[in-house]
Amino acid sequence: MTDARPLPRRSLGQNFLVDENILGVVERLAGLDPADVVLEVGPGLGVLTRFLATRVGFVHAVEVDRRLESHLAGIEHVALHWEDALRLDIRSLEPPPSKLVANLPYNIATPLVVESLAQQQLRSWCVMVQREVADRFFARPSTKAYGAVSVLVQLAAERTGSHAVSREVFRPRPNVESALVAFTRTAPGADERTKRVVEAAFSHRRKTLANALALSGVADRERAAAALAAIGRDASSRAEMLAPPEFVVLAEGL
């Protein structure tokens, strides 16, 4: 079987999970239950897929690489969806998934998590990502890791656990550290208006927030300064200074 494994494609952000010892940690952090319906993105060789299929009610496995079909076909209680996960309409899946549990491809991890927050049927996440990405999800204001993704994740969820992952569980062995991070929904998350303000605020990180919003076309500088003053922030404030709830109020003011 080893000889028949396709080589991971860097263009797809693939690092195949091959060591089953990490699966017990996934089970604990994800709080797997026989009644769960799980969404898995990037199943790869199916190591996690098979594990999930024996512990939950149903698995939706989304994979874009058809070379992996022989490794994924025929697993009971699993539906395979051969498409780009970023284009998948999660609302169309039956039965509807309530958990996202996955070793996410590196190149789509951040946008996929951000987009999945808008899917209200998803109640919890347990994802394996680059360590620096995991750090960003729950970074605190005024830190280097704090950014738009931090705000958007924290407006929807709270972290329930994390675990460092050895490079040795993947093939090929990646050049970066990885981590498992688990979080649970606590709120609907940012609406489109707030999301636009957050993304604009961090799109010009070296600029003051008022200038960043103006450069992004969200509001002219005077209007942005007035909205900042209304939440007790000076016009010279930068995006990384604001806590996630402040962006909601700022968006309303704009």
**pLDDT tier at 173 (50, 70, 90 boundaries)?**
low
Q: Could you give the residue range(s) of every CATH 3.40.50.150 domain in the chain?
A: 2-185
Residue 169: the pLDDT is: 78
**How far does CA 25 lie from the centroid of its chain?**
18
Spatial distance between the Cα atoms of 90 and 92, rounded to a whole number of angstroms: 5
Alpha-carbon separation of residue 180 from 104, 136, 155, 186 (angstroms): 10, 13, 20, 19
pLDDT of 4-48, one tens digit each? Answer: 666 445 555 457 676 778 999 999 999 999 999 999 999 988 999
Amino acid at 65: D
Q: Which superfamily, per CATH, for 192-253?
A: rRNA adenine dimethylase, C-terminal domain (1.10.8.100)
Q: What is the pTM of this model?
A: 0.91
Spatial distance between the Cα atoms of 202 and 254, rounded to a whole number of angstroms: 16
* 80 strand-pairing partners: 61
pLDDT at 158 over 80: yes
pLDDT of 197-251, one tens digit each? Answer: 999 999 998 899 999 999 999 989 999 999 999 999 998 999 999 999 999 999 9
Q: Are 153 and 138 in contact (CB under 8 A)?
A: yes
Exposed (0-12), middle (13-18) or buried (19+): which is 98, by Cβ within 10 Å?
middle
CATH no. of 2-185: 3.40.50.150
Share of the chain above pLDDT 70, in %: 92
Let me know the angle formed at the C-alpha of 51 by 50 and 54, rounded to the nearest 5 degrees: 85
Let me know the angle formed at the C-alpha of 35 by 16 and 40, rounded to the nearest 5 degrees: 20
Q: Could you give the residue range(s) of every CATH 1.10.8.100 domain in the chain?
A: 192-253
